Chain A
Amino acid sequence: GDSVTQMEGPVTLSEEAFLTINCTYTATGYPSLFWYVQYPGEGLQLLLKATKADDKGSNKGFEATYRKETTSFHLEKGSVQVSDSAVYFCALRNAGNMLTFGGGTRLMVKP
């Protein structure tokens, strides 16, 4: 079946540091890929998406590129802020049209 694997957290960074959160997936066919963010005390929110190979999703300074050859969709941001502290979930949607989520990665940004 489909699966999504994320790097374990927490990831702790200083403000303005570069962020990478790794995500790899296993799926048949050509899934769409997503990153969600969960701020403390809130539900998940869609952050960005990419629907085909080599697409780059971007939002709020975050980027992720759909790499079919490596089955990856790593999340990056050039300069993180304290307000980026949250849990980030990688997810895919396949032909069955349901979402499969990774385990989540907690990011902590210190001033």
Chain B
Amino acid sequence: DAGVIQSPRHEVTEMGQEVTLRCKPISGHNSLFWYRQTMMRGLELLIYFNNNVPIDDSGMPEDRFSAKMPNASFSTLKIQPSEPRDSAVYFCASRAQGSPQETQYFGPGTRLLVL
């Protein structure tokens, strides 16, 4: 299995630009999570989906952030417009139905730098 796939691995953009991060979960996993990792705040859960449906988006920082999961094999996290304080590593993780929360499989992350 290829594991959780994220793209791009690195993104550098200018303030005000739209940024789209992509995630392909492990085949057969029905839960998908988006996290943000910063030096200041550590690892934060932004949103998670069960069976393509957003369950809890209380971690999404503000309206500039949006996430979608149009099907079981693809999710996007969009930031529009981006700001320098959005610079972070964004992780996607997936989990199989019925398995414990701690058995989430993490992707390698997307390192975002907003200038």
Contacts and interface: CB of A to CB of B under 8 A. Distances in A.
B102 A34 contact: yes
A20 B102 CA distance: 22
Contacts of B93: 43-44
Contacts of B43: 44, 89, 101, 103-104
B7 interface: no
B62 to A, nearest CB: 20
A5 to B, nearest CB: 10
A44 B104 CA distance: 9
Contacts, number: 45
Contact of B108 (A42, A46, A98, A102): A42
Given A97-B101, A98-B101, A99-B101, A44 B42 contact: no
Interface string A68-95: 0000000000000000000001010100
B104 A99 contact: yes
B2 to A, nearest CB: 13
A98 B91 contact: no
Interface of A: 32, 34, 41-46, 49, 89, 91, 93, 97-99, 101-104
